[in-house]
Amino acid sequence: MAIGAFVESGGGGGGGGGYGGRVTAYVVLTCVVAGSGGILFGYDLGISGGVTSMDSFLKRFFPDVYQKMKQDTGASHYCAFDSELLTVFTSSLYIAGLVATLFASSVTRRYGRRTSMLIGGTVFIAGSVFGGAAVNVFMLLINRILLGIGLGFTNQKYLSDMFRVPVILKKLRNYVELSHNLDKRIELSIPLYLSEMAPPRYRGAINNGFELCISLGILFANVLNYCVVKITAGWGWRISLSMAAVPAAFLTIGAVFLPETPSFIIERDGDTDKARILLQRLRGTTSVQKELDDLVAASNLSRTVQYPFRNIFKRKYRPQLVIALLVPFFNQLTGINVMNFYAPVMFRTIGLKESASLLSSVVNRLCATFANIVAMIVVDRFGRRKLFLVGGVQMILSQLAVGAILAAEFKDYGSMDREYAYLVLITMCVFVAGFAWSWGPLTFLVPTEICPLEIRSAGQSIVVAVVFLMTFVIGQTFLAVLCRIKSGTFFFFAGWICLMTVFVYFFLPETKKLPMEQMEQVWRKHWFWKKIVGEEEEEKQAGKTALPSM
């Protein structure tokens, strides 16, 4: 599940808006500590697939799956890991994380992003203890739910209380009426923290670094799984489940010393003197008045923006709404979380041994991490549409190739030649690389760019909610789908990637280096969207000119 690469609103297309300052050691330290939340998230994405492919773990907690995997029951290879309880173990974290964001939002709003990270890290540590000490499936589920709650606090949307007393007294008219009581929503707390702490001219690279942190977290999980499986006593999975405490402890302890952001200080306390002192420390210069003035102006403007969630349903914002819904939806239907969750399981399914399957996952993630770095370098040079389209074609060909190899060489029973198994691995590496430099970071970057200030928070909330929900759905259903349609699963994903690539080609304009203030011009010039937003503008102008006769 690729969550990251947010871009802060602000200035036109310039490099830093004329602000002074540099990247200070203080900025680096705070961003490293905050970025460890991305490693936490990535670790949770990667660790479950590894432990669920370990014989010792399966024998202890999922003996039915272990017997099917060993062909003791005569089950198809494709159905060896088909277990509803096993998928609940994997996917429960993400539904818990989504629910936790609703409760964590009030904490973030009242006490700040740093407090949210502190609480989240503490809950992560508690969840790691349950995982390492687990003696039954119930303790495993507690482990995943606590990790999900920690995820909800460290990577959460900033929501207002959904049900206020005045709304309840109005008898909860309907969802649209409720939605207007939502205050502004602001992306994920850690990427937001990074955005606000980073110098504007380096903000894009630092935010893309959060996506890189997620990839590094998955890589760390895969390497650890590969190492601990060699423990002959069969308790290596305990290390895997409990080691989430390491980055969590780093985040928790570091959060104690992290300052609040200048934006939050102005927004909550209105203390511009305190914010100025912090800005001077962060930027390494006393010339911060322009940036401070912009922060104050942005804070004042944000207070005037009402009903962002209701506004996004207006006709003139139809392009932004459609893209905010469909881009994250398509993101999950690429099949990427199949690799994040179940890569070792997949490789075991096609015949690789326990250790080889875990090593294959490491190789797979190394390719993705390298591609993340490439994305940081080329995204502003080649543009968003080109990366979307090239990455889409790359993923289509990869999924078709995997499906064809499995259909031809991998049957329900018997083994697959090792050469073909490694060919599947290579093709999967091409697939994850295509995602990592295109749909991974761009899923969050593009909606941020195209949404104007009055709906930006609502647009990002929709993106994050769709990602969380679809992550849960894919995690919960993939193994059952694989059992039923077998190699056709990969043709299914390829079909969706074809559809989403066509969508980008026809309906997503290029936004590279375009100032946000000029973004609405893109829709008025687009062959399709101009029919919608143009009609809205014409109706507005007609209303102004149709003056009543005296």
What residues contact 495, with CB distance under 8 A and at least 6 apart? none
pLDDT digits (tens, 9 = 90+) for 331-362: 989 988 777 766 766 777 666 776 777 778 88
Helix (H) or strand (E) holding 223, with range, is helix 203-228
pLDDT of amino acid 2? 43
Highest mean pLDDT among 277-286, 410-419, 523-532: 523-532
The sign of the CA dihedral 56, 58, 63, 65 is: negative
Closest CA to 395 of 503, 492, 497: 497
pLDDT of amino acid 336? 86
Mean pLDDT of the chain: 75
What residues contact 288, with CB distance under 8 A and at least 6 apart? 19, 20, 21, 276, 279, 280
Average pLDDT of span 387-412: 89
C-beta neighbour count of 248 within 10 angstroms:
27
Burial class (CB in 10 A: 0-12, 13-18, 19+), 412: exposed
Closest CA to 452 of 460, 442, 464, 443: 460
pLDDT of amino acid 536? 57
| Confidence category of residue 459, pLDDT binned at 50, 70, 90 | confident
pLDDT digits (tens, 9 = 90+) for 35-79: 676 787 788 878 887 888 788 898 899 888 888 777 655 567 677
pTM: 0.74
- Rounded to whole angstroms, the Cα distance separating 346 from 339 reads 8
Task: Give the pair of three-digit tokens for residue 343.
Answer: 């890569």
Residue pair 33/250 in contact (Cβ under 8 Å)? The answer is yes
| Confidence category of residue 541, pLDDT binned at 50, 70, 90 | low
Domains and their CATH numbers in the chain: 22-165+185-258 (1.20.1250.20), 315-537 (1.20.1250.20)
pLDDT of amino acid 155? 58
